Amino acid sequence: MADINYSIKGEKLVIAIDGFVDSANAPQVEEKINEIRNAEPKNSIEIDCRGLKYISSAGLRIILRLKKAVKDTVLTNVSSEVYEIFDMTGFTEMMEVRKAFRVISVEGCEVIGQGANGKVYRIDPDTIVKVYLNPDSLPEIERERELARTAFVLGIPTAIPYDVVRIEDGGFGSVFELLNAKSFGKLLSSGDKSVDEIAKMSVDLLKLIHGTVVKEGSMPDMKAVALGWAAFLKDYLPEDVYKKLYKLVDDVPYDLHMMHGDYHIKNVMLQNGEVLLIDMDTLCHGHPVFELASMYNAYVGYSELDHEIIKNFLGIDFETAGKLWRKMLSLYLGTEDEQIIQTVENKAMIVGYTRIMRRTIRRKGFETAEGRAVIESAKKHIIDLVSVTDKLTW
Partner 1 sequence: MTVDIIKNENEAVILVAGRIDTATAPDFENAVNAVLQAFDNVIFDFKDLDYISSAGLRVMLRSQKSINAKFGTLKVINANETVAEIFEVTGFSSIIDIE
Instruction: State which residue, 151 or 378, has the beta carbon closest to partner 1.
Output: 151
Instruction: State which residue, 163 or 308, has the beta carbon closest to partner 1.
Output: 163
Residue 283 CB, nearest approach to partner 1 (Å)? 15
Closest CA to 70 of 46, 88, 92, 53: 46
Closest CA to 309 of 278, 351, 264: 264
Q: Is 359 exposed, middle or buried (0-12, 13-18, 19+ CB in 10 A)?
A: middle
Residue 271 CB, nearest approach to partner 1 (Å)? 6
Residue 260 CB, nearest approach to partner 1 (Å)? 17
Sequential DSSP letters for 69-131: H-SEEEEEEE-HHHHHHHHHTTHHHHS-EEEPPEEE--TTPEEEEE-SS-EEEEEETTEEEEE
Neighbouring C-beta atoms of residue 180, cutoff 10 Å: 7
Rounded Cα–Cα distance for residues 266 and 184 (Å): 6
Residue 274 CB, nearest approach to partner 1 (Å)? 6
Instruction: State which residue, 277 or 310, has the beta carbon closest to partner 1.
Output: 277
- Using alpha carbons only, give the angle 191, 195, 196 rounded to the nearest 5 degrees: 125
Residue 137 CB, nearest approach to partner 1 (Å)? 20
Residue 58 CB, nearest approach to partner 1 (Å)? 33
Strand, helix or coil at 169? coil
Closest CA to 260 of 309, 295, 230: 295
Residue 162 CB, nearest approach to partner 1 (Å)? 5
Instruction: State which residue, 66 or 283, has the beta carbon closest to partner 1.
Output: 283
Which amino acid would we find at residue 144?
A: E
Instruction: State which residue, 56 or 127, has the beta carbon closest to partner 1.
Output: 127
Instruction: State which residue, 116 or 153, has the beta carbon closest to partner 1.
Output: 153
Binding site for partner 1 (CB under 8 A): 126, 149-150, 152-153, 155, 157-163, 177, 180, 271-274, 276
- Using alpha carbons only, give the angle 95, 99, 105 rounded to the nearest 5 degrees: 165
Neighbouring C-beta atoms of residue 170, cutoff 10 Å: 9
Residue 192 CB, nearest approach to partner 1 (Å)? 18
Neighbouring C-beta atoms of residue 339, cutoff 10 Å: 7
Classify 16 in phi/psi space as left (phi over 0), alpha (psi -120 to 50) or beta.
Answer: beta
Instruction: State which residue, 39 or 153, has the beta carbon closest to partner 1.
Output: 153
Instruction: State which residue, 159 or 316, has the beta carbon closest to partner 1.
Output: 159
